[in-house]
Structure 1
Amino acid sequence: MDAGQEKFSDASSAETGNNNIQFYDPSEESIWTRLGVNFESFKRAPGVTGDRLVVGDLSEAEIEKIKSETPMLQAKMKKRHLTMIAVGGSIGTGLFVGSGSALKIGGPAAILIGWIIMGVMLVNVTQAIGEMSILYPLSGGFYMLANRFLDPGFAFAMGWNYFLQWAVVLPLEITVAGTTVQYWTEKVPIAVWITVFWVVIMIICLFGTLGYAEEEFWASCLKLLIVVMFVFIGIVCGGGPTGGDYDHYIGGTLWHNPGGLANGFQGICAVFVTAAFSFSGTELVGIAASETPDPRATMPGAVKGTFWRITVIYITSLTIIGLLIPWTDERLLGGTSAAASPFVIVLDNAKIPGLNHLVNATICVSVLSIGLSCVYAGSRTLTALAETGYAPRIFTYVDKSSRPLFSVIAVLVFAPIGYVNVVAAGDTVFLWLQAISGLSVLFTWGAICLCHIRFRRAWKVQGHSIEELPFTALGGVWGSWLGLILVFIVLMAQFYVAIWPVGGVSSGNERAQSFFEAYLAAPIILAFWIGGYLWKRTLPWRAHEIDLDTGRKSWLTVEEMRQYRAERKAAPLYVRIYRMLFTN
């Protein structure tokens, strides 16, 4: 027996008659092994992915129940980590850079309409995933929820789609990081910067969940600081330095000339995907729930933080950008370099020295942060796929530092695709990568809303009360229906601009190319769904068939929950207001 197998804890043992199951206790490993910085940390952790020592003869159902109640990955995230992942985790190129191209295509009114609609959708999505993840903090996040509440074949399609979404975003983000650095100098080839950022991401990945969580916490703090600073500067920009574009009051003049809309209704439809891309990653709180010691205490605050991010960070900053930059500004073209960031353009126009460099450095950190999110989300989803038999078993490997090692490597190998940017055909390759990732997040959010609808239906059919739930979504099941309807509307709007793109097309070939560049994710998901059905021959679960017990973390009765809520209601008014806005 090796050293790892000797380290089992009786504290987590489960007994059935004379049967005894003992679980691997990672706390007994050395600090260097838990941090993932020595050779021992790369060895497979016994018991983490189901290879537990089983003594005695348990039924298959009993074994599956015990396995489901033991987290696949170690719970290393703290409350501050989860809160910042929710509040600042997805602030990146979508806001700092992509909003520039959206302003160019749609105008200031279009970006506000697009981001507000996507924001309303996202609030309902995060509320839904919060309700389900607190009750079922499953490794693999929404994929495991879809597998349980919808249909294993559909979950197969959504899981692989979600993995591909993050895998192809990784080289995109690394390339954006390289072009961002070129804001300062173009003497160093972009291939060098791509290599540097790739290596940095790999080094941070060595520290596993804790490395990602700490980097995300501090990066999110920096991003929030910069955005808040930008908002304050933008509000008082009428008193900018002499000689700058904002040394006098300009008000809403740019909404009159050149106007609030750049391309009318087409422009509004065209910005939805950019808005969705900027919000992608918010659903990561559902994946992170299984790696948090107490989701009941940490998830509600993280979910509610989404509302404040949408209102304070996105809507306010985009309103200011629309007031300060005309959509005719040529620097907004492309939206793939640091020079195209509207945040940098505003500070350049204002002639405020130094701050443009600070914002550009923040964009570099943001891109690195999103790159790490790609590895985190993609690897956890791939491991969950392997756990349910929809991916090779090698991806169930989890080492003693709680890294799904081969899944992490599988995502990281996509990074070298970024090197195509150094050749002439690179732009074409990147257009197709963006086509794969463009709509993926919308299908993911729609699936989360559908999961919540089916969960609530099963909960009711099987005789449960809503009062038993430790956390309930703000809009209930109707909020998920609203989110699902908004996803459908946005998909139709994107279909419209895919057929009739802004600027028009001159030939049938161009129309076909425009359609697939905008809608490639749809046939990919359909192909996965058909493949999953042909492979496993599964059908959607009926409400009475859905398993509501395995892996469930809250077994409080209605009376116990009523007593709990009565005690909280007796708290002082200021405490209740704080809880309502920020915590559980």
Structure 2
Amino acid sequence: MDLNNKHITSNSFLYARNSNISSLDDDDDNQPPPLVLPWSKPPKKKTSTEKIIHSSFSVYEDETFILNDLDHSETTTEESYDLHNHNSQQQQEQRTTKVKRTLKPRHISMIALGGTIGSGLFVATSTPLSIAGPVNSLIAYIFMGTLVYSVAQSLGEMATFIPVTSSLTVFSKRFLSPALGVSNGYMYWFSWVITFALELSIVGQIIEFWTDAVPLAAWISIFWVILVSINMFPVKYYGEIEFWISSIKVVSIVGFIIYAFIMVCGGGPLGAIGFRYWRNPGPWGPGHLFPGTPKGRFLGWVSSLINSTFTYQGTELVGISAGESRNPRKAVPKAINVVFFRILIFYVLSLLFLGLLVPFNDPKLSSKTSYVASSPFIIAIENCKTKGLPDLFNAIILMTIISAGNSNVYVSSRILYSLSKNGVSPRIFSRTNKYGVPHWAVLFSGSFGALGYLASTENGISAFNWLLNITAVAGLFAWLFISISHIRFMQALKSRGISRDSLPFKAYLMPYSAYYAAGFSILIIFINGYESFVGGFSVSAFFTAYISAIIFVCLWICFQVYFKSWKIFIPLHEIDIDTDRREIDAMVWDDEPEKNFCEKIWDFLF
């Protein structure tokens, strides 16, 4: 080998390592090599290409890696000593600021499923059913499902190419601008800590379905501590807990769909229900503001869009966990595709049967005393007069809310961790414990669960609806910036002559689908506050609808000043698509054995 070429290659690798260590966007694991013991598992046989790659890289069980020490023949002893100390300090810091790649595909898909299926489905669906009616609400959820599909595809293409923790905030920072990225990150973090408070606010009332012997605030406190504590353990345990709880959730929803089908066909004490409630009181609800008129029904459909946004929020969670997944190039695309179809099927079929079993004028749908009392699932079962089943399903709802709250803490802490790694939040939030968990970020994000105590006040229902609107609009901002980031990502690839056909995962119907999702996200954000302008201006309704947008604009202006840049988007040639990608390209992953038909069915369901 030519010594000059060898020297150039070594310096190139050294530059790659140093640039990755200093990058604020970096989420790689640069840890010291593990102790090799006699009983260690022998390494996988590698091809000649893989051997070349592994002459400079070491891959570990937790899917982290570092560059091995290189042979620098011209380095003096003193320089080597200084370099060793410098690298030791960096490695020590990285051991306390790095998350680990220990999540499997089934964990990732269930994190997204667990974070999405919660109070949005079991409680918040009562509002669109009572206002828009069964058909209008079903159309609204299908329409929003198409937006979710577009967003999931966009995120999947980017997250498999550059798998990093909290990719939503990282991508908007890299592909749009630092100010937009950080503002979006804080908005997304805010939406999830508020959602965590919402889930906690419901837990106590779910238990009060059986007994009110224990104060509501006590139940909130108990589950608050439990959920935050779960997230302090290694992420693989969190993923395992989430997998099994979400599996029960999936089985329960499938069971409800089967039960509802039997009731509709005449298997219950009420006989064949069929489309009885679509004939009387009818398929269309009274509408909003102008009841009984076409205008009112259209506005009822528009109001359902916000509820459906809140219900679908969380499908993008696979992007948050990409940086902690094993073999993200395979795990993330599978999780995105499977999770989307699971959610769409569960939601559409659930809403269809709820509309068949519960008339839109049922007074319990608009209960002002309890979230659980207004749950259309409980109402449907009670209307069918099936003894014992309401209690069982209430227990399932309790488990569902716990699962969703578990995901809320996980997601919000990883977003805060990413912001800290990027230098725009206190450094303490990027510190990790010995399990690789950002414990300070978990504790701070979890502390917002205290807002759940609002449920114990007289205006608990109003507070729930107000916070629901805030989190839904904040979620729309996240979808908007995922779509715009993907548009810019595709433009950057094209400017560098990189074909999208060469990517690990290629999104469908792009770039049209991304423009579609971005356009309607902007439209819904603007029109969701129509109520504040009808019949005289309402200040409270205006701020309820647009407080998230106002907060975002304020954050964006502040960070534009902070970064001293007034450009909305960074130039295409400055977009970074290399950091965090080359290292993943260099990894060698164990091939999974071929699965039989039954195993494939199991993978689809779980």
Question: Which amino acid counterpart does residue 170 of structure 1 have in structure 2?
Answer: F
State how far apart, in whole Å, the 2-side matches of 1:175 and 1:453 are. 38
**Bigger shift: residues 120-129 or 309-318:** 309-318
**Structure 1 residues 41-78: Cα deviation after superposition (integer angstroms, max 9, x where no partner):** xxxxxxx9x9x9997669x9xx99xx99x993101111
2:560 aligns with: 533
1:121 equivalent in alignment to 2:147: yes
**Bigger shift: residues 117-126 or 418-427:** 418-427
**Which secondary structure does the structure 1 equivalent of 2:314 belong to?**
coil
1:240 and 1:350 in contact (8 A); partners too: no
2:578 to 549, 552, 570: 549
State how far apart, in whole Å, the 1-side matches of 2:461 and 2:273 are. 38
Cα displacement (A) at 1:535? 1.1
1:258 aligns with: 281
1:495 and 1:519 in contact (8 A); partners too: yes
1:397 equivalent in alignment to 2:404: no
Cα displacement (A) at 1:486? 2.2
Q: How does 1:93-492 map to 2 (within 5 A)?
A: 93-238=119-264, 244=269, 247-262=270-285, 263=287, 264-334=297-367, 337-424=371-458, 426=460, 429-430=463-464, 432-492=466-526
State how far apart, in whole Å, the 2-side matches of 1:474 and 1:157 are. 28
2:202 and 2:455 in contact (8 A); partners too: no
State how far apart, in whole Å, the 2-side matches of 1:456 and 1:334 are. 48
1:72 and 1:139 in contact (8 A); partners too: no
Question: Which amino acid counterpart does residue 370 of structure 1 have in structure 2?
Answer: A
Question: Which amino acid counterpart does residue 526 of structure 1 have in structure 2?
Answer: V
Cα displacement (A) at 1:289? 0.7
1:90 and 1:281 in contact (8 A); partners too: yes
**Structure 1 residues 426-484: Cα deviation after superposition (integer angstroms, max 9, x where no partner):** 55655553343231101100100001000000100111111221110122222111111
State how far apart, in whole Å, the 2-side matches of 1:518 and 1:463 are. 43
State how far apart, in whole Å, the 2-side matches of 1:292 and 1:522 are. 32
Cα displacement (A) at 1:490? 2.3
1:42 aligns with: none
1:516 aligns with: 543
Structure 1 gap segments, 5+ residues each: 1-13, 30-47, 558-570
**Bigger shift: residues 302-311 or 281-290:** 302-311
State how far apart, in whole Å, the 2-side matches of 1:421 and 1:87 are. 25
Q: 1:520 to 1:231 in 2, by over 3 A?
A: same
1:567 aligns with: none
2:30 to 10, 16, 23: 23
Cα displacement (A) at 1:343? 1.0
1:156 and 1:385 in contact (8 A); partners too: yes
Cα displacement (A) at 1:314? 0.6
Question: Which amino acid counterpart does residue 489 of structure 2 have in structure 1?
Answer: F
Question: Which amino acid counterpart does residue 352 of structure 2 have in structure 1?
Answer: T
State how far apart, in whole Å, the 1-side matches of 2:461 and 2:121 are. 22
**Which secondary structure does the structure 2 equivalent of 1:126 belong to?**
helix
Cα displacement (A) at 1:238? 3.9
State how far apart, in whole Å, the 1-side matches of 2:97 and 2:581 are. 12
State how far apart, in whole Å, the 2-side matches of 1:28 and 1:363 are. 46
Cα displacement (A) at 1:390? 1.1
Q: 1:217 to 1:582 in 2, by over 3 A?
A: closer
1:568 aligns with: none
2:106 and 2:335 in contact (8 A); partners too: no
**Structure 1 residues 96-144: Cα deviation after superposition (integer angstroms, max 9, x where no partner):** 1111122112111121111111100001111111110011111222100
State how far apart, in whole Å, the 2-side matches of 1:301 and 1:96 are. 26
Cα displacement (A) at 1:400? 1.4
Question: Which amino acid counterpart does residue 308 of structure 2 have in structure 1?
Answer: A
**Bigger shift: residues 445-454 or 412-421:** 412-421
Q: 1:317 to 1:26 in 2, by over 3 A?
A: farther
Q: 1:514 to 1:131 in 2, by over 3 A?
A: same
State how far apart, in whole Å, the 1-side matches of 2:166 and 2:604 are. 26
CA-atom RMSD in angstroms: 3.5
Q: 1:334 to 1:27 in 2, by over 3 A?
A: farther
Q: 1:498 to 1:316 in 2, by over 3 A?
A: farther
**Which secondary structure does the structure 2 equivalent of 1:439 belong to?**
helix
Q: 1:102 to 1:208 in 2, by over 3 A?
A: farther
1:241 and 1:351 in contact (8 A); partners too: no
Cα displacement (A) at 1:497? 3.6
1:88 and 1:224 in contact (8 A); partners too: no
State how far apart, in whole Å, the 2-side matches of 1:174 and 1:89 are. 14
Cα displacement (A) at 1:178? 0.9
**Structure 1 residues 276-300: Cα deviation after superposition (integer angstroms, max 9, x where no partner):** 1111111110011100120111111
Question: Which amino acid counterpart does residue 322 of structure 2 have in structure 1?
Answer: A
2:480 and 2:521 in contact (8 A); partners too: yes
**Which secondary structure does the structure 2 equivalent of 1:98 belong to?**
coil
2:101 to 54, 57, 75: 75
1:71 and 1:290 in contact (8 A); partners too: no
**Which secondary structure does the structure 1 equivalent of 2:30 belong to?**
strand
**Which secondary structure does the structure 2 equivalent of 1:470 belong to?**
coil
1:26 and 1:400 in contact (8 A); partners too: no
State how far apart, in whole Å, the 1-side matches of 2:449 and 2:302 are. 31
Question: Which amino acid counterpart does residue 516 of structure 1 have in structure 2?
Answer: F
**Bigger shift: residues 548-557 or 92-101:** 548-557
Q: 1:259 to 1:26 in 2, by over 3 A?
A: farther
**Bigger shift: residues 305-314 or 172-181:** 305-314
**Percent identity between the aligned chains?**
33
State how far apart, in whole Å, the 2-side matches of 1:135 and 1:239 are. 48
**Which secondary structure does the structure 2 equivalent of 1:236 belong to?**
helix
Question: Which amino acid counterpart does residue 16 of structure 1 have in structure 2?
Answer: L
Higher Rg: 2
Q: TM-score if structure 2 supplies the norm length? A: 0.79
1:375 and 1:408 in contact (8 A); partners too: yes
Q: 1:323 to 1:81 in 2, by over 3 A?
A: same
2:9 aligns with: none
2:474 and 2:548 in contact (8 A); partners too: yes
**Which secondary structure does the structure 2 equivalent of 1:525 belong to?**
helix
**Which secondary structure does the structure 1 equivalent of 2:467 belong to?**
helix
2:315 and 2:340 in contact (8 A); partners too: no
